[in-house]
Structure 1
Amino acid sequence: MTLRRLDDSFDRWNELLELILVSFAYMNGRIDPPSSALSLTPQALREKARNEIAYVALDGDRLAGCMFCRPEPDSLYIAKLAILPSVQGKGIGHRLLTVAEATARERGLTALRLETRIELIGNHATFAKWGFAKTAENRHAGFDRTTSIEMRKVLI
């Protein structure tokens, strides 16, 4: 398994979109509102990678995982952390988050931050196992109930 930071030479945007959609498919019908991944396009991913810090995990030549990171004033925000279902549980997510920690430290940031939907209890447990703690409950515009939770991992 190798990790690659996305740059202008990356040209597999359709495959990357498919990776995200397949990885997030288990959420369809479980979360409300639906995942923003459903509105992504290859061009939107290309632009996201230009404006953020993005990595892919490669299993040979196959895209197996990805992660987008955005520096904030005191943390590195993790988004679209996606691992193909067929290779989940093999440490790819952990490796991507280890790179995120190094990226945050290089920028003098003291934490990683992410959001996960309230309905995805398994994600909460996985992120907690990786050192993240719940720090807030949030709601999407137009909702009168909690729709997501924020989790942070303080970097020591």
Structure 2
Amino acid sequence: MYPLSPVRAASDDPLIPGILELVQRSFAYMEPRINPPSSMFRLTAASIQEQCLSGEVWTIGKQPDACIFLSDKEDCLYIGKLAVSENMRGQGYAKKLIELAADRARCKGLPALELNTRIELVENHQAFQRLGFAKVAEGRHDGFSEPTYIVMRKYLENLRSNQNPPAVQQS
């Protein structure tokens, strides 16, 4: 078995096409369930290369089997994509990548991790709750009058004395 050790991808990493394929496969199930369509459809090898330069992309495995995209925000580290190959789920890859993200945030002096997940994907809300995230807001995509996603945050222990997230806000 390949070690459960995340590796940071460089913009010229030969795994870039594999990262794109992993995200596309992992997010495909959402297509009939969400509106508007996933940003995954706009993802390209070039945009992953740009993410490697403007933020961070980490992978686990030779295929790769899992990946996470990280971007600095003013008050948190934002998780843009988190994907685990279907045949590798349940082996701790998502947890390992979230732990890595928390370590990266702490190194940067950022007190929290943040991500967005679609309103319709209740199973994702539950999975992220199990990883320590809590809903802090709702948002909507341009052109929509109702919320289309929720914002979830995980406050990092040794950087924040109040671990309770703020009340849910709707934008």
Q: Report if TM-score (shorter chain) is over 0.5.
A: yes
CA distance in 2 between counterparts of 1:41 and 1:9 reads 14
CA distance in 2 between counterparts of 1:27 and 1:69 reads 21
Q: How far does residue 20 in structure 1 lie from its aligned partner after superposition?
A: 0.4
Tell me the residue number matched to 2:116. 115
- The within-5 A match list for 1:1-156 is 1-58=4-61, 61-156=62-157
CA distance in 1 between counterparts of 2:45 and 2:52 reads 11
Q: Let me know the Cα RMSD of the aligned residues.
A: 1.0
Letter aligned with residue 17 of structure 1: L
Q: How far does residue 2 in structure 1 lie from its aligned partner after superposition?
A: 2.5
List runs of 5+ in structure 1 lacking aligned partners: none
3-state SS, counterpart of residue 64 of structure 2: strand
CA distance in 1 between counterparts of 2:139 and 2:47 reads 25
Letter aligned with residue 49 of structure 2: R
Count, aligned residues:
154
Q: How far does residue 8 in structure 1 lie from its aligned partner after superposition?
A: 4.2
Deviation larger for 2-11 or 109-118 = 2-11
Deviation larger for 11-20 or 99-108 = 11-20
Write out per-residue CA displacement over residues 76-134 of structure 1, whole angstroms, 9 at most, x where no aligned residue: 00111111111111110000000000000001110000000000000000111111000
CA distance in 2 between counterparts of 1:37 and 1:138 reads 18
List runs of 5+ in structure 2 lacking aligned partners: 158-171
Letter aligned with residue 117 of structure 1: R
Q: How far does residue 40 in structure 1 lie from its aligned partner after superposition?
A: 1.0
Cα pair 2:8 2:58 within 8 Å, conserved: yes
CA distance in 1 between counterparts of 2:127 and 2:11 reads 32
CA distance in 1 between counterparts of 2:84 and 2:117 reads 15
CA distance in 2 between counterparts of 1:66 and 1:14 reads 12
Q: How far does residue 62 in structure 1 lie from its aligned partner after superposition?
A: 2.0
TM-score (norm 2): 0.87
